[in-house]
Structure 1
Amino acid sequence: MISGPRLTPTIPGRSMSTVSLFGGATFPLGPFVPYEHNPILRPKGDSWESANLYNPAALVIDDQVVLLYRAHAEDIVSHIGIAVSDDGYHFEREDAPILSPEHDYERHGCEDPRIAYIEGTYYLTYTGWDRTVAQLCLATSTDLRTWTKHGPLFEDFDTFKTMDPRGHNWSKAGVIVPQQIDGTWWMYFGEGGIYWATSDDLIHWTPGTSDDEPMYSPTPGTFDEALVEIGTSPVLTDDGLLVMLTNGATREVHSDGTVDVDYRCGQIVIDPAEPTKVMARLQEPWLRPQTYEDTHGLVSNVTFVEGLVKFRGRWFAYYGQSDTTLAVAVADPADGFGVGLRADG
């Protein structure tokens, strides 16, 4: 039996079409089936998105799916673009990026967006990259086109500290829970290990622990034994639990110094009554590299999820393929949630 704070899937005065906390989920969520016509977006032309296009945030606005995706040319300086779809599969993208590098801490890329919509404002977390340090950054907007950047959130924090220390600042992957828990805003963040942070104003965030105390670490002998990373914004089960899709990796170092990676997608569930603990995790990945695009690209053998929406009764999970193309997998509740998926606590 669950006690303590409970979350509901609506925000007063807002319709579900513009709220990023989707309800009606179960844990595990799925099964997801990759779309037979993936990739749904590819690099194009000789523009800023000519070489690679991947790792999108997703939301639903006015009965359309909106993707904020990462892309770059051969210089591998990432920008964030926007694309809109009436059916979740076929997207029209705008010619110009909506967010580009401006400051020294992001001079080589604005990468890997996640987004939350709260009381009329979009809160976009992304990675600022200078080719030495990766830092989780925040930007806000009321229209998805004009952004105010608030800079890096967690200086002097290394989310790899307990497994593969970077020796300098390192933080990525922040998802904001778009409703308060006990009067406080919560964020889950981290690549390597997963951590939590809280805020009173959604702009200034304080980690709940030091960087040597992750709330969730890689599990030896499994698909996420090398690292874990938050993937998507949370969705809400009917009994008030938060489900998030995650990314996990294994890595093999060869005698010549080369490294092979394999990124697969998992799930975790958190009880808002104990928001600093992972209640359960999937034992097996719900998505793994299989197709040619999944296994060939800028970084091969990668399926990397960052966007999840409930759209017209189905779950759409948007993911990058080998850091090169963008794909979607779909779960239909009519097919039976959790079929073939095992979870443990």
Structure 2
Amino acid sequence: MATGPVTFPLGPFTPYEGNPILVPQGDGWESGSVYNPAAAVVDDRVALLYRAHAQDIVSHVGLAWSSDGTTFEREPEPVLSPSEDYDRYGVEDPRVTKVDDTYYLTYSGWDRETALLCLATSPDLRTWTKHGPMFPDFDTFQPRGHGRPGPWSKAGGILAQPVDGRYLMYFGEGSIWAATSSDLLHWTPMTTDDQPPVLAPRPGTFSDFLVEVGPPPLVTDDGLVLLIHNAATKNPDGSVRYTAGQVLLDPARPTEVLAELTRPWLEPTTAEDLSGLVSNVTFVEALVWFRDRWLAYYGQSDSTLGVATFRPGERWSDLRR
């Protein structure tokens, strides 16, 4: 998978002035909300695997294509839909990584009681084989917990390159954890009784309420791993505000954070970011290098879909003269 320069921090990103780039349409499966996509570059086009639902909020994953990264044509039918007990009320919030000739898609299966991180694979982004929940007994909100007993897991970002012969994934909503695999299908969390999560909420920061994995991680130009994450604070009235951060990790010690941003690199600013099904949300799940720039695709208040761009060297080029 082609990539451009990866530094820490990555950015600055500028929200596209033409946002939103995808909005609900029609009276069917994508008539209510369109948001929270995965993305891949295929044959010099950007493919978006986006979450969409009608007013029933039963999510499907649709597929759209773009030759410029901002103007998309959608395929008429979803490519992934609820079909199993564990995802009967929604296939939500996809992330995608390509390894060799296979796309590995993680998504949240929702049965209106429990969210479980699930895996599906495809050779072409259209035909998917579901492999079921990845961590059916894991609660990623630990050590804080999510207010009730039982499992809960979301948000899996798979690193495309193996580390010492094994693949690495960061996963979790609430807190962020790490897992490894030898075949990309079966995953083992890197946890022990005394092993804390990789990243947990911290009082007084922009991740005061929770953290959640964003796009799949990237290897930086220094050989370290860049993990972009989503973070939330909770307001006194119970509402939330979602922004985005970045952390840097050593692949030899994938559970230890080396550095992190102390302020968000993306946060709600526009009308679509500030008001929607869940207001005050910029939620990043997709990051691709396309031609000469980075494109970060994100959900706007669980209602519409936007993109932010970063072209390395462009913003500060005058200062170097």
**TM-score, length basis structure 1:** 0.89
The equivalent residue for 1:15 is: none
Deviations 1:102-123 (A, max 9, x none): 0010010000000010010000
1:75 alignment partner, SS class:
coil
Q: CA offset at residue 169 of structure 1?
A: 0.9
Q: Find the aligned partners of 2:5 and 2:188 in 1 and give their Cα distance.
A: 30
Structure 1 residue 221 corresponds to structure 2 residue 200: no
The equivalent residue for 1:316 is: 295
2:253 alignment partner, SS class:
coil
The equivalent residue for 1:138 is: 119
Q: Find the aligned partners of 1:294 and 1:321 in 2 and give their Cα distance.
A: 5
Deviations 1:6-33 (A, max 9, x none): xxxxxxxxxxxxx17x341110000000
The equivalent residue for 1:299 is: 278
Unaligned runs of 5+ in 1: 1-18, 338-345
Deviations 1:21-69 (A, max 9, x none): x341110000000000100000001010000000001111111111100
Q: Find the aligned partners of 2:312 and 2:142 in 1 and give their Cα distance.
A: 39
The equivalent residue for 1:51 is: 32
Q: Find the aligned partners of 2:169 and 2:10 in 1 and give their Cα distance.
A: 21
Q: CA offset at residue 335 of structure 1?
A: 2.3
The equivalent residue for 2:226 is: 243
Report the residue type matching 1:118 in the other structure.
V
Q: Find the aligned partners of 2:176 and 2:192 in 1 and give their Cα distance.
A: 12
Q: Find the aligned partners of 1:102 and 1:231 in 2 and give their Cα distance.
A: 25
The equivalent residue for 1:191 is: 173
Q: Find the aligned partners of 1:126 and 1:270 in 2 and give their Cα distance.
A: 24
The equivalent residue for 2:319 is: none
Unaligned runs of 5+ in 2: 317-321
Q: Percent identity?
A: 61
Deviations 1:152-181 (A, max 9, x none): 000111111211334111000001111110
Report the residue type matching 1:65 in the other structure.
V
Q: Find the aligned partners of 1:81 and 1:198 in 2 and give their Cα distance.
A: 29
Q: CA offset at residue 84 of structure 1?
A: 0.5
Q: CA RMSD in A?
A: 1.3
Q: Residues 141 and 175 of structure 2 are in contact (CA less than 8 Å); yes or no, is this contact kept in structure 1?
A: yes
Structure 1 residue 153 corresponds to structure 2 residue 137: no
Q: Find the aligned partners of 2:252 and 2:129 in 1 and give their Cα distance.
A: 33
Q: Residues 42 and 324 of structure 1 are in contact (CA less than 8 Å); yes or no, is this contact kept in structure 2?
A: yes
Q: Find the aligned partners of 2:233 and 2:26 in 1 and give their Cα distance.
A: 34
Structure with larger RCO (C-alpha < 8 A, sep 6+): 1
The equivalent residue for 1:106 is: 87
Q: Residues 23 and 237 of structure 1 are in contact (CA less than 8 Å); yes or no, is this contact kept in structure 2?
A: no
Structure 1 residue 120 corresponds to structure 2 residue 101: yes
Deviations 1:302-339 (A, max 9, x none): 000000001111110000000000000001112258xx
Which residue of 246, 261, 270 maps to 2:249? 270
Q: Find the aligned partners of 1:43 and 1:269 in 2 and give their Cα distance.
A: 35
Q: Residues 68 and 83 of structure 1 are in contact (CA less than 8 Å); yes or no, is this contact kept in structure 2?
A: yes
Deviations 1:79-113 (A, max 9, x none): 00000100000000101000000001001000000
Q: CA offset at residue 200 of structure 1?
A: 1.2
Report the residue type matching 2:67 in the other structure.
D
Number of aligned pairs?
A: 314
**TM-score, length basis structure 2:** 0.95
Deviations 1:266-312 (A, max 9, x none): 11111212222121111000111111100111100000000000111
The equivalent residue for 1:334 is: 313
Q: Find the aligned partners of 1:299 and 1:210 in 2 and give their Cα distance.
A: 35
1:28 alignment partner, SS class:
coil
The equivalent residue for 1:7 is: none
Report the residue type matching 1:135 in the other structure.
L
The equivalent residue for 2:53 is: 72
The equivalent residue for 2:42 is: 61
